């Protein structure tokens, strides 16, 4: 195989990633553009203005709980792939990933970085096996969480929208089948723990959406909020937009309308949830800065050393 062909493969792969990311950004802007075309900026301003400080604080706590639960799930799966992470670094990496997932296309870039991170705060196999094990552990725990989200969404939708419910169940079968490739090494007790942690993490973010319903649309019957939240949060599991924006609003408007409520109210609540969720990831930005700064300094020293030669 020629050197030029080998060199062209990374460039072509990078090009495909750029195209996919561009399409995801365009889809996000397109869906949010439809919201603006239909309701103007009112859903955004109303949602932002309706969030009191205490709701932001509760949202931050729920987001932190979700991150901690994910970190515990990741550590458990990673241990069976010969990767050993202390709790603190695992939480830091998950919070960093949550922040990156919320601002980058697709919602998985942060997890890709988490899987490929070669920092010294984890014990892992050497060489290519370390990278493969890292991606296996992250993929398995993320897909386990996605499976729980899809099953919950299917349960809510099977009666009012059977086709959508069946589609969610089919998606859950696919994600569970893929995850099983890496989860089958876990003993039954640890598999049960992974499921329980996944359910608890899902519940934290559903509760955050219920919180958004309570503060943004207090006229909505709170008994309907968990089902509305389940479908809206479930739409975010599709890695096709930036941070779930757009697909979540579309799903929220649809499920609100399906339940006899105003679609615009659903969109406004969804935006309120999006603001709470984004704010809850901001500690991850601080983690990213702290973890990146030493490497940037090393790069700077290396450049200075090369210039002085």
Contact 67, 91 (CB under 8 A): yes
**Per-residue pLDDT, 116:** 80
Q: For 20-30, what is the mean pLDDT? A: 91
The residues facing 84 across adjacent strands are 123
Phi then psi for residue 242, to 5 deg, are: -95, 115
Rounded to 10 deg, the angle between the 225-235 and 188-216 helix axes is 110
What token pair was written down for 73?
Answer: 């799930």
pLDDT digits (tens, 9 = 90+) for 186-236: 999 999 999 999 999 999 999 999 999 999 999 999 999 999 999 999 999
Contact 232, 251 (CB under 8 A): yes
176 vs 133, higher pLDDT: 176
Contact 134, 116 (CB under 8 A): yes
**Per-residue pLDDT, 199:** 98
Contact 248, 273 (CB under 8 A): yes
**Per-residue pLDDT, 306:** 62
**Per-residue pLDDT, 309:** 61
110 CB burial (10 A radius; 0-12, 13-18, 19+): buried
Given its phi and psi angles, is residue 34 left (phi above 0), alpha (psi -120 to 50 degrees) or beta? alpha
Percent of the chain with pLDDT over 70: 86
Instruction: Give the position of tokens 């439809």.
Output: 34
291 vs 151, higher pLDDT: 151
Query: Quick one: which of 88, 131, 91, 92 has its CA closest to 112?
Result: 131
**Per-residue pLDDT, 109:** 86
20 vs 50, higher pLDDT: 50
Distances 123 to 6, 93, 120, 203, 279 between C-alpha atoms, Å: 32, 14, 7, 31, 31
Contact 89, 198 (CB under 8 A): no
pLDDT digits (tens, 9 = 90+) for 237-262: 888 999 999 999 999 999 999 999 99
Residue 90 has pLDDT above 70, yes or no: yes
| Measured torsion, CA atoms of residues 24, 27, 28, 29, in degrees rounded to the nearest 10 | 120
**Per-residue pLDDT, 301:** 61
Per-residue pLDDT band at 4 (split at 50, 70, 90): very low
Please give the Cα distance from 145 to 201 (Å, whole number).
Answer: 8
What token pair was written down for 262?
Answer: 């105003």
Q: For 161-189, what is the mean pLDDT? A: 96
The DSSP code sequence of 250-277 is HHHHHHHHHTTS-HHHHHHHHHHHHHHH
Residue 143 has pLDDT above 60, yes or no: yes
Instruction: State the chain's mean pLDDT as an integer.
Output: 89
């Amino acid at each position: 195989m020629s050197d030029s062909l080998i060199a062209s493969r990374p460039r072509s792969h990078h090009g495909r990633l750029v195209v996919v990311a561009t399409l995801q950004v365009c889809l996000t802007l397109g869906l949010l553009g439809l919201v603006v075309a239909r309701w103007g900026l009112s859903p955004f301003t109303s949602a932002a203005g309706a969030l009191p400080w205490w709701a932001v604080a509760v949202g931050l706590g729920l987001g932190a709980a979700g991150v901690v639960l994910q970190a515990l799930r990741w550590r458990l799966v990673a241990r069976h792939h010969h990767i050993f992470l202390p709790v603190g670094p695992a939480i830091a990496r998950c919070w960093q990933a949550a922040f990156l997932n919320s601002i980058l296309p697709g919602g998985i870039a942060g997890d890709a970085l988490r899987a490929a991170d070669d920092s010294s705060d984890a014990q892992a196999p050497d060489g290519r096996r370390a990278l493969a094990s890292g991606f296996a552990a992250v993929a398995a725990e993320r897909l386990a969480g996605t499976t729980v989200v899809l099953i919950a969404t299917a349960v809510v939708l099977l009666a009012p929208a059977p086709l959508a419910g069946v589609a969610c169940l089919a998606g859950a079968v696919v994600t569970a089948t893929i995850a099983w490739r890496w989860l089958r090494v876990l003993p039954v007790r640890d598999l049960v723990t992974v499921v329980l942690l996944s359910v608890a993490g899902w519940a934290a973010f559903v509760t955050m959406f219920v919180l958004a319903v309570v503060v943004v649309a207090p006229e909505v019957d709170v008994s309907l909020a968990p089902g509305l939240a389940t479908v809206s949060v479930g739409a975010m599991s599709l890695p096709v937009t930036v941070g779930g924006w757009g697909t979540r609003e579309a799903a929220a408007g649809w499920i609100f309308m399906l339940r006899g409520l105003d679609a615009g109210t659903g969109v406004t609540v969804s935006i309120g949830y999006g603001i709470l969720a984004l704010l809850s990831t901001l500690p991850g930005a601080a983690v990213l800065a702290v973890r990146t700064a030493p490497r940037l300094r090393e790069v700077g020293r290396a450049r200075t050393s090369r210039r002085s030669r």
